[in-house]
Amino acid sequence: MASTQYLRVAIAGVLAISLAVVLGVVHAGATTPLSIAVSGNHFVDGSGATVRLLGVDVPSTEYACDEGWGYSSQPLTIATADAIAAWHADAVRVPLNEDCWLGLNGQPSYGTEAGYQQAIETWVADLNAAGLYVILDLHWTAPGTNDADGQRPMPDDHSTAFWSSVAETFKTDHAVVFDAFNEPYSPMANGNSDLAVSWSCWLDGGCSLPVANQDDPINDAETYTAVGMQALVDAIRNTGATQPIMIGGLSYANDLSGWLAHEPADPEHQLAASFHGYYGETCDTASCWNSTLAPVAARVPVVTGEFDQGYDCAGPPTSPSGLTTFDDTFMNWADASGVSYLAWGWWVLGNTSTSCNALSDPGDNYALVSNYGGTAVSPDGTNLQSHLDALYAGSGFQVVTTALPAGTVKVKYSATLAATGGNPPYRWRVLSGRLPNGLHLKASGVISGKPRVEGTFTFTVKVLDHKTKTKPHTQRTATGEVSITIG
């Protein structure tokens, strides 16, 4: 999360003192054979069906080990995993601490390096067993001999070693996605430093940045040298790991404007863009999403690793009226655009601030639930749960592709249509209109061939989902208008 995270961590820490740390139990059930990979501008599972990552962030594995409360400040068990899956989620994002994983700078303050690693491995296995994909996120970091006690602007001299170790550990688990660095940001943009992160530094590193974390006083005389996103991709691939890698944009992953022009090179072609969207940030409207996210989503998968319309109690809005529609507006836009999303966060915090009490909002501090059994709280928890329920029930079964990537006359072309809310695998056909001469739609949703004519073509497709396994074995259909431009 962005600059208000330290307050939320402090609140969680007080609550965590009374929680038992229960990460050491291995779930006895068989691991669900999940698999995820990038195909064009979307994810697919092992059967080739389109997948969107829809779910929640489960915080605390980034900070509890550093503060000495445990490997987590909440019960990370198969029961918790099942409660998340019961929301019809298919993904969980797990934030990690660089020092705790590597055993650096006196960390973890609780337990041991090996214990922390085993706790994370057990949690990932339990999530997979519940049918959930897992995003492993490098969240808290620090350069040199400094403690990884918060968020820094960019990766540091330990980050490649972190990813070499994490990727080596999980390279055979193809239900895992790597999120290279939580929220890159430029200190100069925050107004408390003269040191900046350009898109060039974002890619290749080399710029000097303040050592202090985002919540401590900044001293531009104490710096470290940033490591770029390309180095993290290289570190992961050098282990032989082939899983998708998420790369977050600048401005706490809220800015993807320079992402395509500075996309790292990946020999596996398995990169996805990571976006974080909170009410009140610069890119929190459909016009911004259309102008900056949509062009990226036309080329690679976009995963919204964090989103919420909630607010931090340290600086609540003067009126909560402007918060009432953000979640649904964003999720509806993302559904139509084929964008994945996970809400922050699956933790129990409660109403802990006089200012938030005055607004009568039990969902403050970005909490989704009031207990670990999964009881949703307003606004973010109830919004997400009801939206995922609707998608699962089929009312959300829809074609999410509206515009295909542009093609060129006499040049090989391939793109895949995407739908959401149904029971894959899907079967596709053209209902009306026509594809450009030379292109053909396969039942799998792949459009391929060599276009022979220029122009913009609009056609309507129909998609049929798979029969449900339980009676009455229902099947659903959806239609959508799609366009493609050939130059």
Nearest to 459 by CA among 423, 420, 428: 428
Domain final residue, candidates 340, 370, 393: 393
What 3-state DSSP class applies to 149?
coil
pTM confidence score: 0.78
Q: Indicate whether 243 and 228 sit together in one domain.
A: yes
Label residues 396-411 b or e (16+ Cβ within 10 Å = b).
bbbbbbebbeebeeee
Q: pLDDT digits over 53-83, tens only? A: 999 999 999 999 999 999 999 999 999 999 9
Separation CA 328–CA 322 (nearest Å): 13
pLDDT number for residue 322? 54
Residue ranges of E strands in 249-339 = 271-278, 302-308
Contact 89, 345 (CB under 8 A): no
Q: Indicate whether 62 and 133 sit together in one domain.
A: yes
Separation CA 388–CA 52 (nearest Å): 12
Residue 132's Cα: distance from chain center in Å?
13
Nearest to 323 by CA among 312, 334, 309: 309
- Number of structural domains the chain divides into: 2
Supply angle C-alpha 45, 252, 134, rounded to 5: 25
Given a cut of 60, whether residue 353 has pLDDT beyond it is: no
DSSP 437: T
DSSP 89: -
The mean-pLDDT minimum among 93-107, 228-242, 368-382 falls in: 368-382
Q: Indicate whether 429 and 454 sit together in one domain.
A: yes
pLDDT number for residue 155? 98
Q: Is 115 exposed, middle or buried (0-12, 13-18, 19+ CB in 10 A)?
A: middle
Mean pLDDT over residues 392-409, rounded? Answer: 83
pLDDT number for residue 50? 87
Name every residue whose Cβ is closer than 8 Å to that of residue 374 and which is 6 or more positions away in sequence: 83, 84, 86, 87
Mean pLDDT over residues 189-215, rounded? Answer: 95
pLDDT number for residue 355? 42
Structural domain that includes position 134: 5-393
Contact 197, 255 (CB under 8 A): no
Domain final residue, candidates 358, 375, 393: 393
Contact 334, 304 (CB under 8 A): yes
Contact 302, 53 (CB under 8 A): no
Rounded percentage of the chain residues whose pLDDT exceeds 70: 85
Mean pLDDT over residues 380-407, rounded? Answer: 85
pLDDT number for residue 350? 59
Mean pLDDT over residues 297-308, rounded? Answer: 96
CATH code, domain with 422: 2.60.40.10
Given a cut of 50, whether residue 303 has pLDDT beyond it is: yes
What 3-state DSSP class applies to 235?
helix
Q: Indicate whether 403 and 389 sit together in one domain.
A: no
Mean pLDDT over residues 368-372, rounded? Answer: 90
pLDDT number for residue 192? 86
pLDDT number for residue 191? 86
Given a cut of 50, whether residue 433 has pLDDT beyond it is: yes
Please report which confidence band the pLDDT of residue 3 belongs to, taking 50, 70 and 90 as the band edges.
Answer: very low
Q: Indicate whether 371 and 235 sit together in one domain.
A: yes
Q: Is 201 exposed, middle or buried (0-12, 13-18, 19+ CB in 10 A)?
A: buried
Separation CA 71–CA 121 (nearest Å): 12
Domain final residue, candidates 339, 367, 393: 393
Between 437 and 15, where is the model more confident? 437
Mean pLDDT over residues 259-277, rounded? Answer: 98
Separation CA 33–CA 132 (nearest Å): 10
Q: Indicate whether 377 and 412 sit together in one domain.
A: no
CATH code, domain with 320: 3.20.20.80
Q: pLDDT digits over 78-96, tens only? A: 999 999 999 999 999 999 9
Between 25 and 176, where is the model more confident? 176
What 3-state DSSP class applies to 19?
coil
Please report which confidence band the pLDDT of residue 365 belongs to, taking 50, 70 and 90 as the band edges.
Answer: low
Average pLDDT, the chain: 87
Q: Indicate whether 195 and 262 sit together in one domain.
A: yes
Q: Indicate whether 17 and 166 sit together in one domain.
A: yes
Tell me phi and psi for residue 161, to 5 degrees: -65, -40
Neighbours of 217 (CB within 10 A): 7
pLDDT number for residue 474? 61
Q: Indicate whether 157 and 207 sit together in one domain.
A: yes
Q: Indicate whether 344 and 438 sit together in one domain.
A: no
Given a cut of 70, whether residue 122 has pLDDT beyond it is: yes
Kindly list the distances between the CA atom of residue 194 and the CA atoms of 37, 152, 190, 207, 341, in Å, as whole numbers in the listed order: 40, 15, 10, 12, 33
pLDDT number for residue 394? 63
Given a cut of 50, whether residue 362 has pLDDT beyond it is: no
Q: Indicate whether 317 and 444 sit together in one domain.
A: no
Please report which confidence band the pLDDT of residue 47 belongs to, taking 50, 70 and 90 as the band edges.
Answer: confident
Residue 477's Cα: distance from chain center in Å?
28
Nearest to 135 by CA among 65, 185, 84: 84
Mean pLDDT over residues 14-29, rounded? Answer: 32
Q: Indicate whether 406 and 385 sit together in one domain.
A: no
